[in-house]
Amino acid sequence: MIYREAGQFKTSYNSDQALLPVAQDRFFVIGLLVVAYLVIPFVANDYWLNSIFLQFFIFALAAIGLNILTGYAGQLSLGTGGFMACGAFSAYKLATSFPDMHIIIVLFIAGLITALVGMLFGIPSLRIKGFYLAVSTLAAQFFLLWLFNRVPWFTNYSSSGVISPPPIKLIGDYYITGPQATNLTQYFFTLTLVVVMALGARNIIRGHIGRSWMAMRDMDIAAEIIGISPLRAKLSAFAVSSFYCGIAGALWAFLYTETVQPLAFEINQSFLILFMIIIGGLGSILGSFFGAAFILVLPIFLNSAPALLGLKLSGSLVTHIEFMVFGVLIVFFLIVEPHGLARLWGIAKEKLRLWPFPY
């Protein structure tokens, strides 16, 4: 009853092809944006803004990137961490070589560089698929980190190989990185970027490129027969996916940890993002957000829950409880809904359509 599209007539092609054709979906997303822009910044404290939302947005962006490649185009990738590192290091090189370059341009070019690197590592996907491709993307992960560790040029010959981004101004006197940057500036900047890029991803996926990815994913031979070029479809998926991952990596290094170090983009990071899209839902933009929230925010919540409840437990015990509860929850959700949280969301919507008179 709540979620019913009955009576919503589409009288033009434009309304039929809208991004969110159902009015309730539209209201929901607009409501969410209003909350994100107008409520959260005034309610949340620095901890929530910086440690929860900022991290969440950045990982959601990376998850969207991987979802494009794995969820939509069907190319299993374990190189996300490497691509994120690539974005972070390109952004660092750009920001230090051209101090006057605007942060948006820095991020955009860093994304483009990562897209190129991603395409390079995507070439094997033309010949191999499935687990074999996972191994070749694993090579990207290890090779890229090795490269950044090994070649001192990437770190501007810093002694420890850990570098920090220079303070960059966003507009006027508002800094986006460095000690003068406020959490609010970073929050609004990342939020806007994520919204724009998520909308962009959804649009690409609806278009002929996205359809060619999905055709490739569902059956590559059939796709080829109906005239989709595997070269173009697969490499474009790698490019777009890496573009997103690269920007996410640059944001993580520039805004969140404020250091760029290869160790932060380890193989664990790649797994984490892969888990995000598996738990969240393969082939779903919304699922990327769900997954990021589940994998990233839930452990932090579990870790701080005992203290919030007033229980005085030792740090190691809390962490062990966190691991156990989190593991159980992953298993639970995968048993309840193997297609991820996005599918649960879909089921919930279908139930709401019939409510209160299910048949």
The answer to whether residues 279 and 60 touch, using CB atoms and an 8 Å cutoff, is no
130 or 152, CB closer to other proteins? 152
Minimum CB separation of residue 297 from other proteins in Å reads 10
Per this entry, what is the length of the chain?
359
Residue with tokens 């359809």: 211
8 or 96, CB closer to other proteins? 96
Dihedral of the CA atoms 178, 181, 183, 188 (nearest 10)? Answer: -110
Minimum CB separation of residue 90 from other proteins in Å reads 17
28 or 301, CB closer to other proteins? 301
Residues that bind other proteins (CB under 8 A): 46-47, 50-51, 55, 96, 149, 156, 159-162, 164, 166-167, 177-180, 252, 256-259, 261, 263-264, 266, 300, 303-304, 310, 314-316, 318-320
Minimum CB separation of residue 100 from other proteins in Å reads 12
* Residue partners of 342: CB distance under 8 A and separation at least 6: 280, 281, 284, 286, 287, 290
47 or 98, CB closer to other proteins? 47
Residue 164 token pair: 């920090």
Minimum CB separation of residue 201 from other proteins in Å reads 24
Minimum CB separation of residue 188 from other proteins in Å reads 18
- CA dist., res. 153 & res. 307, Å (int): 45
- CA dist., res. 65 & res. 239, Å (int): 10
Minimum CB separation of residue 178 from other proteins in Å reads 6
Of 237, 236, 259, give the one whose Cα is nearest residue 88: 259
Minimum CB separation of residue 277 from other proteins in Å reads 19
11 or 159, CB closer to other proteins? 159
| Cβ-based burial of 314 (10 A; exposed 0-12, middle 13-18, buried ≥19) | exposed
54 or 228, CB closer to other proteins? 54
177 or 242, CB closer to other proteins? 177
178 or 200, CB closer to other proteins? 178
Pure H helices in the chain: 13-16, 23-34, 40-43, 46-47, 55-66, 80-97, 103-122, 131-150, 183-206, 208-218, 220-225, 230-251, 267-280, 285-292, 298-308, 315-336, 341-354
Minimum CB separation of residue 156 from other proteins in Å reads 8
Q: Give the Cα-Cα-Cα angle 173, 193, 166 (nearest 5 degrees).
A: 45
